[in-house]
Structure 1
């Protein structure tokens, strides 16, 4: 398993951040690997809501089905999977001054023959983690001026 974790602060309050992040289709704006993320169901976003995510990582395209597994006043958890991987994205949001402190944990578990790539994937995802943090800070801080 590959685990990537980042903690950073942003200007908007936790309620604003969580309201935005619970819609995983927004990953197109803050996840540098995501090319397209489309919601698969209708109605209010709640535990059980699902998305089809198309990403390109290190030049390799992949598609995962994501589901919102947990939604609270301080945390969202998405689990995406396909035949070769399961990704669990846990985003905790806590008050920090007038803004928010975000801890983003991504756990990627490769399946079957793909497991041999785990050491290389760790290096790739460390870089993606840095880029995701930069993009998420930019996008979330932009919410305060919208």
Structure 2
């Protein structure tokens, strides 16, 4: 398994940041690997909501179906799956002030079958993606406030 963790401050109040990130289709804005992410069901976002995420990694396109597992005032947990991997995005939130929130971001990938062999060789690339998320997400989240 590969786990990447980043902690950074975002210029939004905690409740606004959670509201922004609970809609997983917004990964298009801040996740460098996501090409497209579409909600598969309707209604309010709550545990059980599902998205189809299309990502590009190492030149290949992959599809995962994500679901929101946990939606708490200071935590979101998404789990995505396909035949070769289970991906978990665990987002924890801490108010730094009335207008700033610390996001503790943890992405874990558990490879299945023969794909498990490649996992140790992919860690550096996933660490790089984690750096890009930490760079892009604060800007994307703040931009949504202006729209």
Q: TM-score, normalised by structure 2?
A: 0.96
CA distance in 1, matches of 2:64, 2:14: 27
Q: How does 1:1-146 map to 2 (within 5 A)?
A: 1-97=1-97, 98-146=99-147
Deviations 1:29-88, CA, capped at 9 Å, x for gaps:
010000010000000010000000000012121100000000000010000000000000
Whole-Å separation in 2 of the counterparts to 1:47 and 1:20 = 15
Deviations 1:6-34 (A, max 9, x none): 00001110000000100000000010000
8 A Cα contact 1:11 1:144, kept in partner: no
Quote the RMSD (CA, aligned, Å): 0.9
Please report how far the alpha carbon of residue 134 of structure 1 lies from its aligned counterpart in structure 2 after TM superposition. Answer: 0.8
Residue 16 to residue 107, structure 1, CA distance change in 2 (3 Å): same
- 1:52 and 1:64 in contact (8 A); partners too: yes
- Following the alignment from structure 1 to structure 2, what is the Cα–Cα distance between the partners of residues 36 and 143? 18
SS at match of 1:56: strand
Gaps of at least 5 residues in structure 2 are: none
Per-residue CA deviations over 1:64-116 (Å, capped at 9, x if unaligned) read 00000000000100000000000000011110023100000001000000001
Aligned to 1:112, what secondary structure does the other structure show? coil
Where does structure 1 lack aligned partners over 5 or more consecutive residues?
Answer: none
